[in-house]
Amino acid sequence: MKRVATTAGCFLALMTLSAEDAGKPAPGDAIQWRANGTATANLEQWPLEKMLQSLSDQGGWEVFVEPELQLRVTTRFKNLSHSEALRRLLSDVNYVILPNPESRSKLLVYKTSSASAVVRIVPTKRLAKRKPEKKEKPTSKIPNELIVTLKPGSGIDIEELARQLGAEIVGEIEGLDIYRLRFENQQLAEKARTLLEQNDGVASIDNNIGITPPGTLSPVGLSAPPLNLRPSAADEDGIVIGLIDSSVQREGSRVGDFLLPEISMAGEAANQPNQLNHGTSMAETILRGLSASLEETRETSIKILPVDVYGQSENTSTFAVAQGVQAAIEAGADIISLSLGSDEQNPLMRSVIQAGTREGVLFLAAAGNEPTGRPVFPAAQPEVVGVTALNLSGRDVANYANTGAFVEVAAPGAGMTVFNNQTYFGTGTSFSTAYVAGVAAGISSTEGIPVPEVRSLIAAEMKPPGP
């Protein structure tokens, strides 16, 4: 097997400011950099240094500029997003922001290369050191819901059972006798749990866990490498990669020709023309992993099956994810990529993944972006390949990535995505997982290896580097 590429290249992240980072502009400032993510400017022939000094004061950045870079800034705009405002303020000059969770983010402004941005712009205001953000758990129990799995052949009429419990059936995973029950309040849900535990026809009673969406990506002033991949012109069936995530945007992206019709588990998608969806970024990352695993050919019959489990909601749940996994399996997915996880194993997800594994589906899941060493599920489930992230050099595990004993594979933890002619950058084990999904599909497709057998090959070839 060809050794697949595992280095991500030297990409730098650009991120918008949070309310905690943003300072309050003085009434007379010609640049108004607001904590709500918008900016207004009215500048006439401002020296670059003066303009960057104002950004440092208000935005809380440490600003570094390339020596002898001269620029006079004349621009007027109102209520633009921070990313759009930076582009207008800096015109044709290149820029990136290096995020730093322990201190201040750095804004690098340069003409030739980011490494040449070495002269620090001294702010006019004394800026306090930023405190590290307190990380919150990404999941929480939905208090008025229960997930009920019936035993095969139980003979239970679920509609009658729900009526007796005072519940509404708001979801079902067909073929597995799994139902999502919603109650008026938590007290009724707990009372129903007690009754269900006494029912011999009930296999399990689980909580439904809320899952927050992955963070949004911000544009960078860099060009993304070409994809160098095209769909096969022949009408043939290829491997299908199920992508369980937010909606994948066809218009404005590079991935449209590789997509099967999207399956939605949460209603209409929240697609915005000025914001890249995480799912779209994962789809392009899958294709980059696929391209890296192909030999000479750049034509492929492999398709991506997008499964949107968020819709227009701010979060999703373990039931919706499990429902999405099952829907992907029924639609013919051979590989499933999951960029989510929890510290606790969920019996519902476990049973759905076990059922899919018996049908020959290969599951890949993110190991998590907290380097605790603790198991993260479903990545730590025996049926699943746990994937961690390599740093930008590709030689070591990224300092933010989990490296527990359950991790089998490591891959690039950075990705660049093009959407509406703008390049976006992101990092995390979700990128690694999507990349490996593409690699696995490419190996199976080009070498004729059954998908389940690819697991041992990628585990050997993409083993995480040792300490």
| Contact (CB, 8 A) for 26 and 409 | no
Residue 27's pLDDT is what?
38
Query: Per-residue pLDDT averaged across 290-295, rounded?
Result: 86
| Contact (CB, 8 A) for 377 and 400 | no
Q: Of the spans 10-14, 219-223, 312-316, 333-337, which averages the highest pLDDT?
A: 333-337
Q: DSSP label at 401?
A: S
In degrees and rounded to multiples of 5, residue 194 shows phi and psi of -60, -45
Residue type at position 177 = D
Query: Does 458 or 392 have the greater pLDDT score?
Result: 458
Q: Is the pLDDT of residue 222 over 80?
A: no
How far, in Å, CA of 374 to CA of 27, rounded? 49
Query: Per-residue pLDDT averaged across 117-130, rounded?
Result: 62
Give the whole-number percent of the chain exceeding pLDDT 90. Answer: 45
Q: Is the pLDDT of residue 243 over 90?
A: yes
Residue 130's pLDDT is what?
39
Residue 258's pLDDT is what?
95
**38-47/72-81 β-pairing:** antiparallel
pLDDT tens sequence across 423-436: 888 888 999 999 99
Nearest to 121 by CA among 192, 50, 73: 50
Any idea which of 261-265, 297-301, 357-361 has the lowest mean pLDDT?
Answer: 297-301
| Contact (CB, 8 A) for 399 and 391 | yes
Segment (H or E) for 362: strand 362-366
Residue 374's pLDDT is what?
86
Segment (H or E) for 336: strand 335-338
Angle between helices 347-358 and 318-330 (to 10 degrees): 10
Cα 41 to its chain centre, rounded Å, is 33
Query: Per-residue pLDDT averaged across 196-211, rounded?
Result: 92
Residue 281's pLDDT is what?
95
What's the burial of 143, exposed, middle or buried (CB within 10 Å: 0-12/13-18/19+)? middle
Residue 157's pLDDT is what?
95
At residue 467 the predicted structure's pLDDT band, cuts being 50, 70 and 90, is: low
Task: Give the 3-state secondary structure of residue 453.
Answer: helix
- The pLDDT mean for the chain works out to 84
Residue 26's pLDDT is what?
38
Q: Is the pLDDT of residue 380 over 70?
A: yes
Domains and CATH numbers, the chain: 31-121 (3.55.50.30), 139-211 (3.30.70.330), 218-461 (3.40.50.200)
Buried b (16+ CB within 10 A) or exposed e, 352-362: bbebbbeeebb
At residue 299 the predicted structure's pLDDT band, cuts being 50, 70 and 90, is: confident
Query: Per-residue pLDDT averaged across 292-304, rounded?
Result: 85
Residue 103's pLDDT is what?
61
- Token match 């059936």: residue? 169
At residue 115 the predicted structure's pLDDT band, cuts being 50, 70 and 90, is: low
Residue 2's pLDDT is what?
47
Any idea which of 85-94, 198-207, 275-284 has the lowest mean pLDDT?
Answer: 85-94
Q: Is the pLDDT of residue 307 over 70?
A: yes
Instruction: Look at phi and psi of residue 256 and say left if phi exceeds 0, alpha if psi is from -120 to 50, else beta.
Output: alpha
Residue 9's pLDDT is what?
35
Residue 21's pLDDT is what?
30
How far, in Å, CA of 165 to CA of 37, rounded? 46
Task: Give the 3-state secondary structure of residue 411.
Answer: strand
Cα 282 to its chain centre, rounded Å, is 7
Query: Per-residue pLDDT averaged across 302-325, rounded?
Result: 91
pLDDT tens sequence across 21-72: 333 333 345 888 888 888 898 888 888 888 888 888 888 888 888 877 888 8
Spatial strand order in the sheet of 106-110: 94-98, 106-110, 62-65, 119-121
Q: Is the pLDDT of residue 306 over 50?
A: yes
At residue 296 the predicted structure's pLDDT band, cuts being 50, 70 and 90, is: low
Q: Of the spans 25-34, 71-80, 247-256, which averages the highest pLDDT?
A: 247-256
The residues pairing with 178 across neighbouring beta strands, listed in sequence order, are 149, 173
Helix, strand, coil abundance in the chain, percent, nearest 5:
25, 30, 45
At residue 122 the predicted structure's pLDDT band, cuts being 50, 70 and 90, is: confident
Write down the pTM of the prediction. 0.72
Q: Is the pLDDT of residue 368 over 60?
A: yes
